[in-house]
Structure 1
Amino acid sequence: MNFPKLQITKTDIKLDMQIQDPVQKISQPRPKQNIEQPAGKLDINISKGVLDIDQSQAWKDVGLLTPKESVQKYVADGRQAALKSISKTVQEGRQMMLNSGNGQQGSIIASIAKQNHGPHRVPINIKFIPSVGSVKTHYTPGKVDVNYTPQQPKIDVQVNQPTHDYQQGKVTHNTIQRPSIDIDFTE
């Protein structure tokens, strides 16, 4: 038995496609920035220190006295010398009075002259001038007040928006061959 045959012929579609890619450009311009730093305010207040030096005792030790002290010293020294001289004169007179009748005649005056004149020993001693601790000092320290006020920086920023350039892509096509199906019956 002969069955009819079915013959199917199929033709595919043929396309001519052209693709244009999209183009995208993004750029970010730099921001404009301005920064200023004002100088801080510095305030310095100084009170001076005071140094008091009292060297009056050192001057006295050296022999330099104030006019009033000098007069008082010379008065005291003069009084002492006058009393010493009176005492010596009285002693010599008493010595002459008591010994004059004993037949010594001029030898009493010679012995008194011998006592008054002749080598006198001067005491030798080392003295440190001025004495230790004779200069007195007192110091009152000064003060330094420092006040600093910082200033805030001034910052000015201008932000620029990004630039965005976009071109869409394209797809174009042409049909070169259309699809088809042919069905035939053959015996």
Structure 2
Amino acid sequence: MEIPQIRMHSQQAKIQINTEPAQVHISQPSGDLTIRQPAAEISMRTKPGRLNIDQSQAWEDMNLLSPKKSIAKNAQAGQQAAQQGAARRARQGNALMRIENNSDPIKTQALENGFTQQKRLGLAFIPSTFAVKTSYEPAELDIQVRTNKPIIEGRVNKPIMQYTAGRIETSLAQRAELTIEVVNTKI
């Protein structure tokens, strides 16, 4: 006996997809930077040092006097010698007035007035210790510095962007099919 059978054969549809991805290119140019440093301004003022040397005492010790001091010294020495001479004469006159006192004033005065006192020998022209006086005023230094700030200029460059859009293409790679057939089979 033959029984009809239905046979179905199907094939599914296939979709084909082709894609091109989107592309982004980004480049960042570096920024522009300029830095300038103005030089500092420096001003210096100096007051020079001063050395004072006073050697007048040393000159006086060596008997090398200025005319004014020499006149004053000699005038004082003359005045003192005149006073001593006047005092000596007064003393000798008083002794002569008292000649009756069993003294021999003429002989004594002859010996005193007849011989001069000998001068001492020695070096008198060497200045005394610390006769030269010195004083020093140190120099003064005034330094003024004015700094200048750096001048910084910066410029940011925008990024460069390139964009290529992507694509998607779809197509049917295989069509759907359904085949139906009737087959007689024997049992």
Relative to the length of structure 1, the TM-score reads: 0.63
- Aligned partner of residue 144 in structure 2, secondary structure: strand
Query: Which residue does 2:11 correspond to in 1?
Result: 11
User: C-alpha offsets along residues 131-150 of structure 1, whole Å, 9 cap, x if unaligned?
Assistant: 22112222233322222221
| 1:91 positional shift | 7.4
User: C-alpha offsets along residues 114-137 of structure 1, whole Å, 9 cap, x if unaligned?
Assistant: x99xxx997456x79332211222
Query: Structure 1 residues 68, 124: CA separation in 2 closer, same or farther (over 3 Å shift)?
Result: closer
Pick from 139, 151, 155 the counterpart of residue 154 of structure 1: 151
| 1:27 positional shift | 0.7
Query: Which residue does 1:65 correspond to in 2?
Result: 65
| 1:151 positional shift | 1.4
User: C-alpha offsets along residues 61-97 of structure 1, whole Å, 9 cap, x if unaligned?
Assistant: 23321112223445538986xx6xx99xx979825xx
Count of aligned residue pairs for this structure pair:
161
Aligned pair 1:179/2:171, yes or no? no
- Aligned partner of residue 166 in structure 1, secondary structure: strand
Query: Which residue does 2:167 correspond to in 1?
Result: 170
Note the aligned Cα RMSD (angstroms): 3.9
Provide the C-alpha distance between the structure 2 equivalents of 1:46 and 1:144, rounded to a whole number of angstroms.
5
Query: Structure 1 residues 123, 91: CA separation in 2 closer, same or farther (over 3 Å shift)?
Result: farther
Query: Which residue does 1:142 correspond to in 2?
Result: 139
Aligned pair 1:33/2:33, yes or no? yes
Provide the C-alpha distance between the structure 1 equivalents of 2:151 and 2:71, rounded to a whole number of angstroms.
77
Provide the C-alpha distance between the structure 1 equivalents of 2:47 and 2:129, rounded to a whole number of angstroms.
32
Provide the C-alpha distance between the structure 1 equivalents of 2:23 and 2:47, rounded to a whole number of angstroms.
76
The percentage of aligned residue pairs carrying the same residue is: 30
Provide the C-alpha distance between the structure 1 equivalents of 2:141 and 2:60, rounded to a whole number of angstroms.
38
Query: Structure 1 residues 92, 167: CA separation in 2 closer, same or farther (over 3 Å shift)?
Result: same
1:73-152 counterparts in 2 under 5 A? Answer: 73-74=73-74, 76=77, 94=110, 123=121, 129-152=126-149
Q: Is the 2:62–2:125 Cα contact (8 Å) retained in structure 1? A: no
Gapped regions of structure 1 (runs ≥ 5)? 96-111
Provide the C-alpha distance between the structure 1 equivalents of 2:10 and 2:107, rounded to a whole number of angstroms.
177
Provide the C-alpha distance between the structure 2 equivalents of 1:29 and 1:138, rounded to a whole number of angstroms.
71
Gapped regions of structure 2 (runs ≥ 5)? 90-105
| 1:43 positional shift | 2.8
| 1:164 positional shift | 0.4
